[in-house]
Amino acid sequence: MNNPNIVILGAGYGGIMTTIKLQKSMNINEANLTLVNINDYHYQATWLHENAAGTLHHDRTRIPIKEVINREKVNFIQDKVISIKPDEKKVKLENRELTYDILVVGLGFEAATFGIPGLEEHAFTIGNINSARLLREHLEYNFALYHNEKDKKSARLNIVVGGGGFTGIEFAGELANRIPALCEEYDIEKAQVRIINIEGSETVLPGFDPHLVEYAMTSLESRGVEFITGAMIKECKPESIVYEKDGKQVEIPTMTFVWAAGVRANCIVEKSNLETNRGKVEVRQDMRAPHYDDVFVIGDCAQILDPESGLPYPPTAQIAIQQSAVVAHNVKSLASGREMEVFKPNILGSVASLGNNDAIGVVMNDRKLFGWKATMLKKIIDNRYLFKLGGIGLLLKKGKFNVFN
């Protein structure tokens, strides 16, 4: 294949790291490499909960794409993907159409509302820089307005988070750290503010080590977070949320409901004629889509089953970054007619932040960490990613070096 057109859709963890690895391994005259993204930046998705709570400015999370790619090797196009036509080897963008010889689909996720009334219209999400910034500004607006009206006071200061997975718990932890500063700034008694986490399972962080879950809940409860488990969200209204527990429906007044209980692959994937399973492409061992040898799928859009449990691996940054190494190798191999590699996930553990100086984690050999040690590990992981993405310059510019900040 002479100078193939390689098109990468999406600059999330999988897409940007595939681009970086390809630009390092391929010469300028080996391929025409194009990266397409709706924004001109990549962002640390694992930091969005901090942006949403207001404990970390979004500029720290945002990484300009042109600062990490080699513009002599990569053609970057800022545009919105409208559709993928694999039978025609074409991608329709909002402002143009691209043809490809090899395609990498890494378009990320979007919120899944499961048909719950009012979620799409009234709930906040933490899915990207803009949604996190909107949530932060909304929180500050409600605190600022609190003393200027007689009604709706409790709704202004009741913050309800739907979902006790990683996103919901990490946001609650950052919020618990942020609330005292907001109360001081707007002359509000901290006791007036409620942070309520509602989870459908009987425990938060389902699947996590029970002892670490207990530690996490105790840590958050000591800072004012309330937990309601075994409860299902039934409706989201403009000024309240309705949940059901033990057959009874309860309504909580709130103007801030954050939906963190469900995501799905970008809907463009399901509409693209690629074979999907619950919206995701169940990729082959070499990360290619079924029936299309020239289409690779990565990150949140790809589904890979654990052969032992039969369940899909979670769509984490760790998995997407690991996938990028195999996808980059296989894209180059396909272009040059060489042998491809099989993707085998290597789960190194997981860490959940509980605020800027507390966390829980499980690392290799099931070693449990909590408190400052887990916090330090999380920052090491984040810093390592920045170094792999943009070298020492990006690490020094964006990295986190203080365990307690």
Token match 């008694």: residue? 189
**Cross-strand bridge partners of residue 158:** 194
**What is the spatial distance between Cα 202 and Cα 179, in angstroms, rounded to a whole number?**
27
Strands in 101-152 per DSSP E? 102-105, 109-111
User: Which strands, in side-by-side order, build the sheet including 349-353?
Assistant: 349-353, 359-363, 367-370
Q: Spot the catalytic one: 30, 50, 170, 199.
A: 170
DSSP state letters, 213-261: HHHHHHHHHHTTEEEEES-EEEEEETTEEEEEETTEEEEEE-SEEEE-S
**What is the spatial distance between Cα 378 and Cα 372, in angstroms, rounded to a whole number?**
10
> 10 Å Cβ neighbour count for 191?
9
Q: State the maximum Cα–Cα separation within the chain, in Å, rounded to a whole number.
A: 71
**What is the spatial distance between Cα 281 and Cα 303, in angstroms, rounded to a whole number?**
6
**What is the spatial distance between Cα 133 and Cα 128, in angstroms, rounded to a whole number?**
9
Active site residue 270: no
Strands in 26-155 per DSSP E? 32-37, 41-43, 62-64, 74-78, 81-85, 90-93, 97-99, 102-105, 109-111
Structure-token pair, residue 324: 């990028």
Which of 131, 122, 133, 208 lies closest to 164 in space, CA to CA?
Answer: 208
Is residue 112 helix, strand or coil?
coil
H/E/C letters for each residue in 253-320? ECCEEEECCCEEECHHHHCCCCCCECCEEECCCCCECCCCCCEEECHHHEECECCCCCCECCCCHHHH
User: Which residues are designated catalytic?
Assistant: 170
